[in-house]
Amino acid sequence: MLGLMQDQPLLISSLIEFAERHHGDAEIVSRRAEGDIHRTTWREVAVRSRQVANALEAEQLLFSDRIATLAWNGYRHLELYYGVSGSGKVLHTINPRLHPDQIAWIANHAEDQILCFDLNFLPLVQAVHAKCGTIKKYVALCDADKLPVDSGIPNLVSYESWMGSRPGTYAWPTFDENSASSMCYTSGTTGNPKAALYSHRSTILHAYAAALPDVMALSARDSVLPVVPMFHVNAWGIPYSAALTGAKLVFPGPALDGKSVFELIEAEKVSFAAGVPTVWQMMLGHMQANGLKFSTLKRTVIGGSACPPAMINAFQQLYGVDVLHAWGMTEMSPLGTLCTLKNKHLSLPSEAQTAIRMKQGRAIFGVDMKIVDGDGNELPWDGKAYGDLLVKGPWIVKEYFKGEGGDPLLPDAEGRGWFPTGDVATIDADGFLQITDRSKDVIKSGGEWISSIDIENIAMAHPAVAMAACVGVAHPKWDERPIVVVVKKPNGEVSREELLAFYQGKTAKWQIPDDVVFVEAIPLGATGKILKTRLREQLRGYQLPQSA
């Protein structure tokens, strides 16, 4: 017997319709590439998304055709999120920090038909357009009078002239909720990038889940700043969850330096912000140097790479901001776990609570997870056993776009497929996940594993250290030994010996790095994460000290 509820597909267009009707006057504030502040509302974004849909209808595109963006976080990008997906096309957000050759490669692989780009990326588009054979039209996200002349880019129009004259009425089509809605390529640190292809259904379910109290706790009372980019994994789903809850959205545009982000938080009374640790590092540095405090920020979700305990403590103790440590990946839309305490933890002393907050947290309903040993046997949830982390759920990929890389899933005894995350983790009895490392970064020393994250976290707790990266170096006796590469703070002073002494008592003796290498900068990848592959290349020829 079937249930007797209405059969209504979960479609992204319903989010913008809801936001327009129920939260029409909630604000969308954007710092534009031009530097000025632009203000609009959910109502206006809905109208303009329909204008985008009408402009797309005039392009004679097919259902599921890909429309690419190279854009910062801003209202026009938001309109494309809804106009493109809502009308049955696929929004392909391209990470502008990728190498131009890689951008051309993925635009061709995705068979993008139109590319919409912020004017800051004009030189990039000029560099790649000749290699992008499938793109028929280029749309510069600007007013008609700002359209560059003699750019050399064929079929270039301004966004405002392209969509501005179109009607603001449009009947969003109804189709299968499993249809593709957007796509995002992984960074491809090994081999060519592969694309996660999200569906309307996966996006809506993820949007519901992300808004839950033990996840981001988004509401119509929030002013939300996604510093995480809309060009990578849909800014962690915030543009959708904000429409679902009617939250105010604040977009930072290209200005991601500590001063600009801090000023925007204060000016727009931001209550909730999301970002990767490297962005917050810049902002905390700016605040500490200038003796600043937040007046409205209450919570921040930090993920994408391990959040150093020193950062969690700084937010909590110096500024009274709750840090929600989160873990996820492109293939997971991206949210997997978030760290919030359970009722029984509330009576624990603050140090014990802090120890829990350091973990990456509990699975969100919709994400199943397990850790397994090398033979695929499930390991206990005791907080000690570590193994390969596998996940499954309705917003986790089952395969990559165009079947690239074959079937990624590992079947269990019941034949259900699990996605291997490439992370090594522990899970404790309360279900709190702790990422030990990426499996390719873990340091294998004398048959034991050393977590590079643990080694980095200790260095980051030293007051003179701005950034730290731990890598393994080949060792004749132990296979590999850890060294820590360190960038000092501008006025920070610490010697190799002092830093090594700082490790004493904070980790097992055999886990203490064999050496400290001071550098001016550590290479970061396209999503602001430490690029260990590049760092290892830079260290080629490096010799461990004789004593090691």
Is 186 tagged catalytic?
yes
93 forms part of the interface with ligand ADP (CB under 6 A):
no
Looking at beta carbons only, is 397 or 465 nearer to ligand ADP?
397
> Which residue of 205, 247, 435, 484 would you call a contact of ligand ADP, by CB under 6 A?
435
Give the whole-angstrom CA distance, residue 452 versus residue 522: 15
Catalytic residue among 137, 266, 399, 449: 449
CB nearer to ligand ADP: pick between 253 and 304: 304
Beta bridge partners of 323: 300
- Which contiguous run of DSSP H or E holds residue 138? strand 137-140
* 90 near ligand ADP (CB under 6 A): no
182 binds ligand ADP (CB under 6 A): no
By CB under 6 A, which span of 51-59, 145-153, 220-228, 320-328 interacts with ligand ADP?
A: 320-328
Q: Which stretch binds ligand ADP (CB under 6 A): 15-23, 247-255, 319-327, 405-413?
A: 319-327
Angle at 308 between CA 281 and CA 443, to 5 degrees: 125
Establish if 423 lies at the interface with ligand ADP (CB under 6 A): yes
Question: Which lies closer to ligand ADP via its Cβ, residue 146 or residue 444?
Answer: 444
DSSP result, 370-399:
EEE-TTSPBPP-SSS--EEEEEE-TTS-SS
Residue 327 in the binding site for ligand ADP (CB under 6 A): yes
Which one, 48 or 357, has the nearer CB to ligand ADP?
357
Q: Contact at 8 Å (CB) between 223 and 248?
A: yes
- For residue 424, the minimal CB distance to ligand ADP (Å) is 9
Q: Which stretch binds ligand ADP (CB under 6 A): 68-76, 329-337, 401-409, 484-492?
A: 329-337
- Tell me which long-range contacts 540-548 makes (C-beta under 8 A, separation of at least 24): 542/473, 542/483, 542/517, 544/473, 544/475, 544/481, 544/483, 544/514, 544/515, 545/514, 545/515, 548/475, 548/481, 548/514, 548/515
Residues forming a β-bridge with 196: 184
- Which of 13, 73, 186, 202 is in the footprint of ligand ADP by CB under 6 A? 186
Q: How far is the CB of 2 from ligand ADP (least distance, A)?
A: 37
Q: Is 303 in the site for ligand ADP (CB under 6 A)?
A: yes
Closest CA to 299 of 280, 281, 282: 280
Considering only the stretches 115-123, 304-312, 369-377, 379-387, report the one whose residues sit in contact with ligand ADP under the rule CB under 6 A.
Answer: 304-312
Residues 6+ apart with CB under 8 A from 476: none
421 is an interface residue for ligand ADP by CB under 6 A: yes
Binding to ligand ADP (CB under 6 A) within 520-539 occurs at 527, 529
The answer to whether 449 is a known catalytic residue is yes
Q: Per CB under 6 A, does 102 bind ligand ADP? A: no
Pick between residue 19 and residue 522 the one whose CB is nearest to ligand ADP. Answer: 522
DSSP single-letter state for residue 312 = H
- Which uninterrupted H or E stretch holds 90? strand 90-93
| 232 neighbors 185 (Cβ within 8 angstroms) | no
Q: Which two tokens stand for residue 319?
A: 């500024």
Closest approach, Cβ 371 to ligand ADP, in A, equals: 14
Q: In whole angstroms, how close is the CB of 93 to ligand ADP at the nearest point?
A: 12
507 is catalytic: no
β-pairing, 180-185 with 156-158?
A: unpaired
SS3 333: coil
Of residues 330, 426, 445, 457, which one binds ligand ADP by CB under 6 A? 330
Which residues is 37 bridged to in the sheet? 31
Q: How far is the CB of 186 from ligand ADP (least distance, A)?
A: 4
Asked if 305 interacts with ligand ADP (CB under 6 A), we say yes
Applying the rule CB under 6 A, the residues between 343 and 362 that interact with ligand ADP are 360
Residues linked to residue 411 through DSSP beta bridges, in sequence order = 417
E strand spans, 227-348: 248-251, 272-275, 299-302, 322-328, 335-338
Residues designated as active site: 186, 331, 444, 449
Contact residues for ligand ADP (CB under 6 A)? 186-187, 303-307, 325-330, 334, 360, 421-423, 435, 438, 527, 529
